[in-house]
Amino acid sequence: MWITPARIFYAGLLGAPSVRRLGAWTLYFTSDAPLRVALVNGSGGSEPWGDGELAIVPPYTGHRVESAGRRLPDVLIEPESIDIDRLGEPLGSLLRARGGVFDAAHPMAARLLDRLRDAHDTLASWSEPLRAVDADFDTLVFGAPLPARALDPRIARVLALLEEADTSSLSGEQLADEVHLSFSRFVHLFKEEVGVPLRTFRSWKRARSWLRYVTQDTNLTEIAHHTGYPDSAHFSRSIRQVFGLQPKDVMAGCRRLALHGDAQGTAGQARKHR
């Protein structure tokens, strides 16, 4: 698994997830057994979205995914980090169409599948630690750095504060003060720029930060504390709401993975499983 500030490449076990609701563009792809995706509707039920070799699910979209294969690699791209309108092909048109489920008969999907599968094979044999740098990730996976989105400087400042350990727990009111906005104006501008309310965004980022610990032999109470959850029960419930699995099940699927790009040093140096 390779984690950078705005990207993740995961190649562990799929498990049997229930509803997932990830705050990133999620690209699932297969090399053997087909995958199947169903979207969660307003009443909590599922509506089939399609079968294929590649699925692109928009951020914060509830969905279920399954595959006959034990492993289902996926790539996560933080939506606030990219300018979709300036994205090149093959990724650009697929994201601008709000994703979908595709097979290799789709020209753009076929090109993207080739890139993702090549990246998967390259990473599977990689022996050196990879840096937690988005541009490095993009170059290896997509062929070139993805164009960055130009956010309002005040919201960009807030996102930077949320990344820092000593300011990540600032309240909404405190963040508004940091960028010299009234709280009501800050709340409106944040959602306008990022696409979701601050609370939703923070919930996703907190759950995402936990992935740095999944290869460690650390108890859940310690992990909950390090990632900002009040207790292990709250932590487990939140992780299941996002990833569709209990933390222990996610950790079981990641136990033999190498972990790359640990910028905060929380998970030690990259470890090979061979």
Q: Are residues 39 and 6 in the same domain?
A: yes
- Sheet with 63-67: strands ordered across: 46-52, 35-40, 63-67
The larger pLDDT score, comparing residue 13 to residue 107, is at 107
Of 167-171, 177-181, 233-237, 269-273, give the lowest mean pLDDT range: 269-273
pLDDT for residue 262: 60
Q: Are residues 161 and 246 in the same domain?
A: yes
Q: Are residues 132 and 160 in the same domain?
A: no
DSSP secondary structure letters along 64-119: EEEESSSB--EEEE-GGG--GGG--TTHHHHHHTT-EEE-TTSHHHHHHHHHHHHH
Please count the structural domains in the chain.
2
Q: Has residue 70 been placed in a domain?
A: yes
Residue closest to 105 by CA, chosen among 180, 46, 54, 150: 54
Mean pLDDT comparison of 11-25, 34-48, 137-151, 238-252, highest-scoring range: 137-151
Alpha helices per DSSP H over the chain: 91-96, 107-124, 134-142, 153-163, 172-178, 183-194, 198-209, 220-226, 232-243, 247-254
Residue 30 pLDDT level (bands cut at 50, 70, 90): very high
pLDDT for residue 271: 35
Q: Are residues 217 and 100 in the same domain?
A: no
Q: Has residue 261 been placed in a domain?
A: no
Helix/strand/coil (H/E/C) assignment for every residue in 107-128: HHHHHHHHHHHHHHHHHHCCCC
159: which 2 tokens? 């996102």
pLDDT for residue 167: 81
The larger pLDDT score, comparing residue 123 to residue 272, is at 123
Q: Are residues 18 and 133 in the same domain?
A: yes
- CA–CA separation, 101 vs 107, rounded Å? 13
From 82, 115, 142, the end of a domain falls on: 142
Length of the chain (residues)? 274
Q: Measured at the alpha carbon of residue 204, what is the angle toward residues 39 and 145, in degrees to the nearest 5?
A: 90
Residue 43 pLDDT level (bands cut at 50, 70, 90): confident
21: which 2 tokens? 């609701």
Residue 273 in this model has a pLDDT that exceeds 50:
no
pLDDT for residue 259: 82
C-alpha separations of 262 from 5, 22, 167, 271 in Å: 9, 20, 20, 11
- Contact partners, residue 42, CB within 8 Å, separation at least 6: none
C-alpha separations of 34 from 12, 66, 104, 110, 149 in Å: 16, 9, 11, 14, 33
255: which 2 tokens? 């136990």
Question: Could you read off the pLDDT of 79-124 as tens digits, one per residue?
Answer: 999 999 999 999 999 999 999 999 999 999 999 999 999 999 999 8
Of 30-39, 137-146, 249-258, give the lowest mean pLDDT range: 249-258
Q: Are residues 88 and 202 in the same domain?
A: no
Q: Are residues 161 and 118 in the same domain?
A: no
Q: How far apart are the first and last CA of the chain?
A: 14
The larger pLDDT score, comparing residue 265 to residue 33, is at 33
Q: Are residues 50 and 111 in the same domain?
A: yes
Q: Has residue 72 been placed in a domain?
A: yes
The larger pLDDT score, comparing residue 247 to residue 111, is at 111
Question: Could you read off the pLDDT of 141-181 as tens digits, one per residue?
Answer: 999 999 999 999 999 999 999 988 778 889 999 999 999 99
Residue 209 sits in which domain range? 153-254
Question: Could you read off the pLDDT of 46-73 as tens digits, one per residue?
Answer: 899 999 999 999 999 999 999 988 789 9
Q: Are residues 115 and 170 in the same domain?
A: no
Dihedral sign (CA 249, 78, 25, 169)? positive
- Contact partners, residue 121, CB within 8 Å, separation at least 6: none
Residue 41 in this model has a pLDDT that exceeds 90:
no
Q: Are residues 42 and 126 in the same domain?
A: yes
Give the CATH number of the domain where residue 55 resides.
2.60.120
Question: Could you read off the pLDDT of 181-210 as tens digits, one per residue?
Answer: 999 999 999 999 999 999 999 999 999 988
Q: Are residues 56 and 128 in the same domain?
A: yes
Give the CATH number of the domain where residue 245 resides.
1.10.10.60
Q: Are residues 33 and 85 in the same domain?
A: yes
